[in-house]
Structure 1
C-alpha cells in the first residue's frame, strides 16, 4: 500500500513539473527576479529543482532580494513548505532566545537517521549528557597534549611526505582530497586510537573515508525532495539513497571492528591504567548511566556517537582548509603577511623550516586566525541548519511559523549580505577580524554562525582552530601553492560546503624567510 502511494506521489510530481515547464517555456515569460514562481499544484518546486545544482547561490540570490527571509511554498500534496532566513535577529531568536521551541525533532531524525543517537540527532536530556560528556573530555588535562601529539604525528608521517613527493614530482593533485584524508585519519586516531592510513603515498581507497562525501550529498536531497520520494528511492535502492545505504554499510564495517578492538585492549589493561583518558571509556560510562530511554545496544550507541563526532572532525575542517588555500592563492599579500607573522611569533631563525610548534604558540597567530574566520564567513562548513518548531511562533522579522513549517537557516547567505557585513562584504579581508589592540575581534554568533549559535554552539570550535592553524602554518611556511589552470571552482550543493570539483594545485618548496 505504501509503495503504491510513493509511486503515485512521484508520478504526480513528474506530471506537474512537466506541465509547469512546458507552460513556462511556451509562454516565454522570463523575469529578472530570483524569487521562484509559485505554480498551481506544484508550488515553487520547479524553481528549486531547476537550481538544485547551485542551491546555496540560489538561496542567497532569493534571500538578498527578499531582505533576509523568504517563504517557500511546496507542492499542495507534499509537506514541503519552508521558511528560509538569513536574518541575524531570526537566527538569534531560533537558536537562542526561543531555543526550546526549535529542537532537532522527529523530522530532523528522519533525514539524519544515519547518525542514530549521536549528539547531533538528539534533544533534551540525552543531548545534554552527550554534550557534558564530550566537553569534559575536551577539558581534560590530558586532552591538549593528546591532540597536539596526534596532529604532529599525522603531519610528519602522513601529510609532509605526500606534499614533499608532489612538490618533487611537480604533480597536479587535488588538495581537497588530501585534506579530507588528513582530517579522517586525525579524527580516527583521536577518537578510536586507530590510524586508517588513508593519507599514504599511494593514496589508497578507504571506503569509510569516501563515504562521507556520498552522505552529505544525499542528505541535502532529503531536504529538497518530498519525504515520499526519497523514501521510495530508499526502498528501491536507487539514486542518492543507494549512495546513502552503501555509505552506511561502509561506516559500520569500519566503526564496529574499531570499537571492538579498542574494547578488547581496554579489558586487558592493568587496574592501574583503567582510568586512562579515553573517549571510549567515557561513552561506555555514559551509556551505563542512562536510564531514561532505549539507546539500543552498547555497540550501536558507540557507533552512533563516534560517527557523529567523525562527521564534525572530518568534513568541516577539511572543507574550511580547502577554501582557505584557494582564497590565499588569489590573495598573495595576505599569504605574505601570514608567513611574516609565523616567522615572528614562532621565533624561526634564518634558513629554518617549520616542523613543530606547541598549541600555545598557535594562539599567537592572530592574523592567521582572522584569515580563517574570513574563510568561514564566506564558506561556513555547515551551510544550513534545519528546524521544525514545536508550537506556533512569530519571528522578529514578523513572519509566522507553524509546527508544519520547516525553518531553514542559511548560514552561507549571511556572509554575503551587505546589511550584515557592510558594502565590502564580498571582499576577502582578514583585517575585519583584528581589533584596534591587535587581538581577535569578537562577533556575535548570530551574526557569524559558522560554529552554530546558542546552547548548541559547536564544542569543538577551539580544537578546529588549533588543527587549522597547525596545518595552515606548516603548509604556508614550507610550500607555495599554485592553482591549476582552467578549473571550475564552485561550492557543492550539499550540507557541508565542499568544492564541487575539488581543488587542483601544484606545490613548490619554499626557501625559508631571511630574518630582518
Structure 2
C-alpha cells in the first residue's frame, strides 16, 4: 500500500512539473509571476481595488502587450494589450476573425442576446435596426427634446435648489438620476422621476447598478467558481439573479402594457409625433420581435445610453472643476458663441453646439483619460499573428485596456497624463481627427458606437447649461477613484458644492 501511495505521489508531482513547464512554454510573454496552481491571479486580486491603474503600470512595463494565465485547469487565460496597431488589426483589419464568443455571453448574461453580446447575423440584424432608428431625424429631435425638457424642468431647478441650501451633493448621483430618467423616457416612454430633491431610492435603478457590478466579478473569478456560486445562489451571483429578476419584471410589465396600447390604437393611432424606441421596435418588428428580443434590446440600450453618459459627465465636471483655466476657456467660448444672443445655453441648436470647439476638445480629453467602458474583450476564431509579433491561438481570449491606451506616452506624448483640450484643436481652430483605434472611447471598426454623435450632443447640451449657470467646486477630501465596474464611474461619487454663477 505504501508503494502505491508513493507511486501516486510521484506521478502527481511529475504531472505538476510537466504542466508547470508546459505553461511556461505556452506563456512566452507573462505579465506577472506565474505561481504553481494559482497562476497570476494573486497579483490581480491584490490590486483589484486599483485594477485600471494597475493595468497601466503592468502594460507599460511589458511594451503594451502581455499574457495573463489564471489558476491551473481554469482556462482563465488572456492576451492583454494596449497597442493601437493590435487594436486596429483586431477591430478593423481582421474583424471577422474576432468575435464576442459564447464565454463572453455567459459572463454578460444580463445583456441577453443584444447588440453588445451577439455575433454574426444576430449582431448585424441588431445593428441594422438601431442604425435605422438612430439616424432618423425624427428620433434625433425626440432625443434632444426629451433631454432639454428634463434639463429645464428637473436638473437646473435641482441645482438651483442645492445652491440655495448650500449642501454638499454627490454630482455623480445627480447625473445617474438625470440619465436614468432620460433613458427611460427615450427607450420606454416612461419617466420614473428619479431626479427630485428628495433623492428617492428607485428599485429598478438599484437593480440595474447591481447587475453591472456583479459582471466585473465574473471576470476576476474562475468560471467554475462563479458558476458554483450561481448554483448555490450566494455572493454576487445571488445579487445578480435578484437584480435581473427585478429588471426583467419591470421591462416585461412595460412591454405588456405597450402591446395592449398598440392593439387598442391599431398600431398607428397613438397620435404621437415621435414614439419612444420600445414602441417603435414593437410597431416595426410586429411578430418578429418577441418579448425576449425586446427585453434584451432595452437592457443594451440602457447600458449604451445611460451609464456611459453618466461616466463621461462625472469625469468631465471633475476635470473641469479641478482645472480652472480650462473652465475659464470653456466659458469664454460659450459667451463668444452667444454674443448678444438672448438664447439660454439649453436652447442652443445642434449647429450652434458644433461651434463649441474647445468644449468638444475638453469632452474628448475626458473620454481619452476616462473611457466609460475601460476594457474590451474578444475571442479569436482562428490562429493569427498580431502586428506586435504576439501569436494568437484559436479560441484565445484578448483584452484591450482602453483605460491604459489613454495613458501611453507612445500614443499621446509625454504630457499624456495632463488634461489638455488643446491637443484636440488644430492650428486652424478646428477639431483634430484622431483614428478610432487610438481614441477608442467609442470602439473602432464595424462595431463603432452608433450613438457617438448623439452622445456628444447630449454632453454638450448639459455642459453648456450647467457651466453657464453654476460653478462646481469639489469639496476638500473628495478622492476621484475609478470604481470596480464594467462602466468607469467614481467609486465614492463626486462630492461638490454648487454656487450660482453671476450673469
Indicate whether the TM-score tops 0.5.
yes
Contact 2:208 2:244 in 1 (8 A): no
Alpha-carbon offset, residue 329 of structure 1: 0.8
2:313 maps to which of 321, 329, 334: 321
Give runs of aligned pairs for residues 323-362 of structure 1, distance below 5 A: 323-347=315-339, 354-362=345-353
| 2:303 aligned residue | 311
| 1:280 aligned residue | 278
Contact 2:346 2:461 in 1 (8 A): no
Distance 1:138 1:348 in 2: 34
2:482 maps to which of 488, 491, 494: 491
Distance 2:436 2:253 in 1: 39
2:116 maps to which of 112, 115, 120: 120
Alpha-carbon offset, residue 416 of structure 1: 0.3
Matched, 1:238 2:229: no
Alpha-carbon offset, residue 113 of structure 1: 1.1
Contact 1:316 1:496 in 2 (8 A): yes
Alpha-carbon offset, residue 77 of structure 1: 1.6
Give runs of aligned pairs for residues 207-226 of structure 1, distance below 5 A: 207-226=203-222
3-state SS of 2:388 partner: coil
Q: In the superposition, relative to structure 1, how do residues 222 and 41 fare at CA in structure 2: closer, same or farther (>3 Å)?
A: same
Bigger drift between 47-56 and 281-290 goes to 281-290
Contact 1:345 1:364 in 2 (8 A): yes
3-state SS of 2:137 partner: coil
Distance 1:410 1:271 in 2: 45
Q: In the superposition, relative to structure 1, how do residues 288 and 392 fare at CA in structure 2: closer, same or farther (>3 Å)?
A: farther
Distance 2:129 2:490 in 1: 33
Matched, 1:299 2:285: no
Alpha-carbon offset, residue 249 of structure 1: 1.7
Distance 1:203 1:264 in 2: 32
Contact 1:133 1:282 in 2 (8 A): no
**Which sections of structure 1, spanning at least 5 residues, go unmatched?**
1-15, 17-33, 291-296
3-state SS of 1:506 partner: strand
Matched, 1:382 2:382: no
| 1:400 aligned residue | 391
Distance 2:267 2:117 in 1: 35
Matched, 1:468 2:424: no
Give runs of aligned pairs for residues 401-416 of structure 1, distance below 5 A: 401-416=392-407
Distance 2:471 2:198 in 1: 22
Q: In the superposition, relative to structure 1, how do residues 134 and 78 fare at CA in structure 2: closer, same or farther (>3 Å)?
A: same
1:42 maps to which of 38, 44, 62: 38
Matched, 1:170 2:166: yes
Bigger drift between 457-466 and 361-370 goes to 361-370
What is the total number of aligned residue pairs between the two structures? 473
Contact 1:348 1:354 in 2 (8 A): no
Matched, 1:372 2:363: yes
Distance 1:197 1:260 in 2: 21
Bigger drift between 334-343 and 374-383 goes to 334-343
3-state SS of 2:86 partner: helix
3-state SS of 1:435 partner: coil
Distance 2:345 2:443 in 1: 33
Distance 2:346 2:420 in 1: 28
Q: In the superposition, relative to structure 1, how do residues 287 and 111 fare at CA in structure 2: closer, same or farther (>3 Å)?
A: farther
Contact 2:138 2:274 in 1 (8 A): yes
Distance 1:335 1:395 in 2: 41
3-state SS of 1:71 partner: strand
| 1:19 aligned residue | none
Distance 2:58 2:106 in 1: 27
Contact 1:383 1:496 in 2 (8 A): yes
Alpha-carbon offset, residue 495 of structure 1: 1.6
Matched, 1:155 2:151: yes
3-state SS of 2:347 partner: coil
Contact 2:52 2:403 in 1 (8 A): yes
Q: In the superposition, relative to structure 1, how do residues 72 and 134 fare at CA in structure 2: closer, same or farther (>3 Å)?
A: same
Q: Deviations over 1:89-116 (max 9, x none)?
A: 1000111111111111101111111111
Contact 1:85 1:408 in 2 (8 A): yes
Distance 2:186 2:355 in 1: 24
Contact 1:43 1:73 in 2 (8 A): yes
Alpha-carbon offset, residue 269 of structure 1: 2.9
| RMSD over aligned Cα atoms | 2.0
Distance 2:399 2:266 in 1: 50
Contact 1:89 1:446 in 2 (8 A): yes
TM-score, structure 2 as length reference: 0.90
Contact 2:142 2:274 in 1 (8 A): no
Q: Deviations over 1:19-63 (max 9, x none)?
A: xxxxxxxxxxxxxxx952211121111111111111111111100
Alpha-carbon offset, residue 164 of structure 1: 1.0
TM-score, structure 1 as length reference: 0.88
Q: In the superposition, relative to structure 1, how do residues 461 and 243 fare at CA in structure 2: closer, same or farther (>3 Å)?
A: same
